Amino acid sequence: MKRIGVYTSGGDAPGMNACVRAVVRNGLYNGCEVIGIQHGYEGMIEGNFVDLSARSVSNIIQRGGTILRTARSEQFRTPEGRARAAAQLEKAGIEGLVAIGGDGTFQGVVRLIEEHGVAAIGVPGTIDNDLFGTDFTIGYDTAVNTAMEAIDKIRDTAASHDRLFYVEVMGRDAGFIALDVGISSGAEYVAIPETRTNVEALREYLENYKKVKSSAIIIVAEGEEEGGAFSLAEKIKDTAGYDYRVCVLGHIQRGGSPSARDRILASRMGLAAVDALLEGQTNVMVGDIHGKIAYTPLLETWSQRKALDKDLWRLARILST
Ligand code: F6P
């Protein structure tokens, strides 16, 4: 294999640049040319390609976002769009792909592999940490730290005003961010999609907390089944006795300079993705399982649900009392 294409797709995540850098430098180290595909699948369809040198990825390991840009492509969902993308890859002589993104990115690349015989390796780049086949995804650690730091600040104002705050965090339909943020910020309650939120029981908790705690923080995962922070707050409203506010942290969680952990994870995974392509592997995702690089069939990464750590859930419940 002599020409490798690399792209980022779907929601950006801190550490994607560190991963691109590792792909480029390991590709060049192994005598390959590395082509950057800009704007994800949109750029693949349009032939928006750029040659990447070792120097073109200098000074990016510390930068959030993605220098290759990203997009959520409707065109690529169609067989015609994918055929155009495959033709562009062939024209540019790209023989293998490194796809950095989440489950939408992987579903797209599996179609490309099956319909057009392209070789591709997935790298998990999403703040949600919701992919089966890896303990951690690129961007997750930074996002948790960003949210935790924001909540530390919210706690100051909550304590000053004797208020209850409902803080909504991202995660799509998974509660990984919420649970880790809840534990690390000492939240009084964490509402996640993996466990049913009993509104009545929560109201009771809060009434009891009110007797001993003048302020409180509830972390609400955006995919939680009661409909998010505003909706949950509305349901609890008058009975808990707290004056309350709602704060949706939103896209701040996707930005910022990646943590050391994310930079190292991204570098290891980028390197491993190129190694895998050169070994002749395809249709798998690079993961980190118990600190070691592991490969999982791409299909399993979204068709199997990654389990939340029950011990962490128990920890959050016990320490919030
Ligand atoms: O998958 C990452 C993520 O940030 C999710 O947590 C969130 O639900 C979604 O992307 C938001 O997507 P967009 O930026 O397209 O609104």
How many domains does the chain divide into?
2
Q: Are 135 and 145 part of one and the same domain?
A: no
Atom of ligand 1 nearest to the CA of 127: 2
Atom of ligand 1 nearest to the CA of 102: 1
Q: What is the pLDDT of residues 168-227, one digit of tens each?
A: 999 999 999 999 999 999 999 999 999 999 999 999 999 998 999 999 999 999 999 999
Q: What is the pLDDT of residues 102-112, one digit of tens each?
A: 999 999 999 99
Phi, psi of 62 (to 5 degrees): -95, -5
Q: Which of 140, 170, 301, 306 to mutate to test the pocket of ligand 1 (most atoms within 8 A of CB)?
A: 170
Q: Are 271 and 146 part of one and the same domain?
A: no
Q: Are 207 and 264 part of one and the same domain?
A: no
> Which residues are annotated as catalytic?
128
Say yes or no to pLDDT of 48 above 90: yes
Ligand 1: centre distance to CA 172 (Å): 7
- The domain boundary, picked from 254, 272, 289, lies at 254
Q: Which of 251, 255, 262 is nearest to 18 (CA)?
A: 262
Residue nearest to atom 2 of ligand 1 (CA): 11
Q: Are 7 and 129 part of one and the same domain?
A: yes
Mean pLDDT for the stretch of residues 294-304: 98
CATH code, domain with 37: 3.40.50.450
Q: Are 172 and 212 part of one and the same domain?
A: yes
Ligand 1: centre distance to CA 137 (Å): 14
Ligand 1: centre distance to CA 240 (Å): 31
Say yes or no to pLDDT of 238 above 90: no
- What pLDDT sits at residue 237? 83
- What pLDDT sits at residue 241? 82
Rg of the chain taking only CA atoms, in angstroms: 21
Please list the residues that pair with 289 across neighbouring strands.
292
Please state the pTM of the whole predicted model.
Answer: 0.97
Q: Are 94 and 213 part of one and the same domain?
A: no
- What pLDDT sits at residue 154? 98
- Domain range for 247 is 140-254
d(CA 236, CA 234): 6
Q: Which of 70, 73, 128 to mutate to test the pocket of ligand 1 (most atoms within 8 A of CB)?
A: 128
∠ Cα 294 98 122 (to 5°): 40
- The residues lining ligand 1, judged by C-beta closer than 6 Å to any ligand atom, are 11, 102, 126-128, 170-172, 222, 254
Q: How many CB atoms lie within 10 A of CB 174?
A: 23
d(CA 131, CA 129): 6
Residue nearest to atom 14 of ligand 1 (CA): 11
Q: Are 273 and 130 part of one and the same domain?
A: yes
Ligand 1: centre distance to CA 282 (Å): 27
317 within a domain of the structure (yes/no): no
CB hemisphere CA count around 211 (13 angstroms): 6
- What pLDDT sits at residue 185? 98
Say yes or no to pLDDT of 239 above 80: no
Q: What is the pLDDT of residues 121-179, one digit of tens each?
A: 999 999 999 999 999 999 999 999 999 999 999 999 999 999 999 999 999 999 999 99
73 within a domain of the structure (yes/no): yes
Q: What is the pLDDT of residues 251-283, one digit of tens each?
A: 999 999 999 999 999 999 999 999 999 999 999
Atom of ligand 1 nearest to the CA of 130: 1
Ligand 1: centre distance to CA 91 (Å): 33
- In the chain, the amino acid numbered 119 is A
CATH code, domain with 214: 3.40.50.460
d(CA 16, CA 224): 27
Could you tell me the CA-to-CA distances from 245 to 34, 166, 225 in Å, in that order?
49, 6, 20
Residue 62 CB contacts under 8 Å (≥ 6 apart), including other chains: 257, 258, 263
223 within a domain of the structure (yes/no): yes
Mean pLDDT of the chain: 97
d(CA 256, CA 142): 8
